[in-house]
Structure 1
Amino acid sequence: MKKSIELLLIIFVFTACGTETDKYTNKQANWEDKKAAVENFDGYNLGKTYLPVYSYIYHVFEHRTFDLTTTVSIRNISVTDSVYILKADYFNTVGENIRQYIKYPIFLGPLETVEIIIEEQDVEGGSGANFIFDWATVNDKNPPLFEAVMISTYGQQGLSFTTRGVRIVE
């Protein structure tokens, strides 16, 4: 009986310590594979969107902050047409362009989403960070949707919130 219990315990330990299967089967698209075949966007509907994001936010007083992980979600809301993202520039609180995420135009198929992740320890953007996206669509019916989710957890305290992009009219 004792041997059976020991054997069961050993089997339990080994199965509990086994490799975790990846539960996230829908992987993020490889941006290299998303390179747009279109070179000239004349005749397309061109747009620009501003998206506020936060590297950190203040709490209690100005010298105490929560650093945040940011997920920027770029969504094609059209069920029939592709959308093209021409630029994704990241600016800090004082308006300096600190990073360009897209080196060449990419396409998103109908209902496709791509993401940009800014890790919690990357606080270069500051409390007033933002993105400017340049994009193109075949028509003006369904412009892309830009959202950001910011999250942080410390101990038993956590917070999360979202922002949504605003189309810039020039």
Structure 2
Amino acid sequence: MKLYIIFIFSTLLLISCQEQSEQDISSIDPVNWDKKKVTSPLPDSVIEGRTYLSVYSQIYTQTEHKQLDLTATVSLRNTSDSDTIYISKAEYFNTSGKALRNYFKGTIFLRPMETVEIVIDEIDKEGGTGANFIFDWKTKPGTSEPLFECVMISTASQYGLSFSTFGKRLY
């Protein structure tokens, strides 16, 4: 009987750990993005833009055969203090240029001076050393462009490493 209870407990523990690790691999949280979805038509005249952002979910260390995994915090920032901006795509690509995921469906809004984040967890190695994002966005004429930036960090052992990248508008 004691062995039976230990077996059941071990099985439940193993199952719960597996479910947790699959769930924790990405910050895709549809509940949060759904709260930001645009539900009414956009203004008639908008300026469309596209921004590229490099993201390093891994970097090389010591040799080209050893990588260090990083946590990446991608910030989507509305730099306008008076107008809402709209983001219709946040697509994540790996080193080979393969699209891995789009973080929301439809268009989301950011209120004036609002920031939202996407977190690429340290255990998410899909992006690799040359991961990147493409963001499609819209603003009213005369509104400042959104800012896209990423802070990457690792605190392996006694060392701490961090650096940042900034988006580049594509024309």
Identify the TM-score tier after normalising by the shorter chain.
0.7 to 0.9
Once residues 48 and 131 of structure 1 are traced to their aligned partners in structure 2, the CA distance between those partners, rounded to angstroms, is 10
Normalising by structure 2, we get a TM-score of 0.79
Matched, 1:160 2:139: no
Once residues 42 and 86 of structure 2 are traced to their aligned partners in structure 1, the CA distance between those partners, rounded to angstroms, is 11
1:109 — aligned with what?
111
Q: Structure 2 stretches of 5 or more lacking a match?
A: 1-30
> Structure 2 vs 1, CA of residues 97 and 140 (structure 1 numbering), >3 Å: closer, same or farther?
farther
Q: Percent identical across equivalent pairs? A: 56
Q: Select which of 53, 57, 66 maps to 2:55.
A: 53
> Structure 2 vs 1, CA of residues 40 and 53 (structure 1 numbering), >3 Å: closer, same or farther?
same
1:36 — aligned with what?
38
1:131 — aligned with what?
133
CA contact (8 A) 1:69 1:152 kept: yes
2:99 — aligned with what?
97
Once residues 37 and 142 of structure 1 are traced to their aligned partners in structure 2, the CA distance between those partners, rounded to angstroms, is 23
User: Which one-letter code corresponds to 1:112 in the other structure?
Assistant: E
**Stretches (4+) displaced over 6 A:** none
CA contact (8 A) 1:41 1:136 kept: no
Once residues 169 and 142 of structure 2 are traced to their aligned partners in structure 1, the CA distance between those partners, rounded to angstroms, is 12
CA contact (8 A) 2:45 2:141 kept: no
CA contact (8 A) 1:69 1:119 kept: yes
CA RMSD of aligned residues (A): 1.4
Normalising by structure 1, we get a TM-score of 0.79
Higher helix share: 2
* SS of residue in 2 equivalent to 1:93: coil
Once residues 107 and 94 of structure 1 are traced to their aligned partners in structure 2, the CA distance between those partners, rounded to angstroms, is 30
**Structure whose alpha-carbon radius of gyration is higher:** 1
Q: Alpha-carbon deviation of 1:63?
A: 1.1
1:121 — aligned with what?
123
Q: Structure 1 stretches of 5 or more lacking a match?
A: 1-28
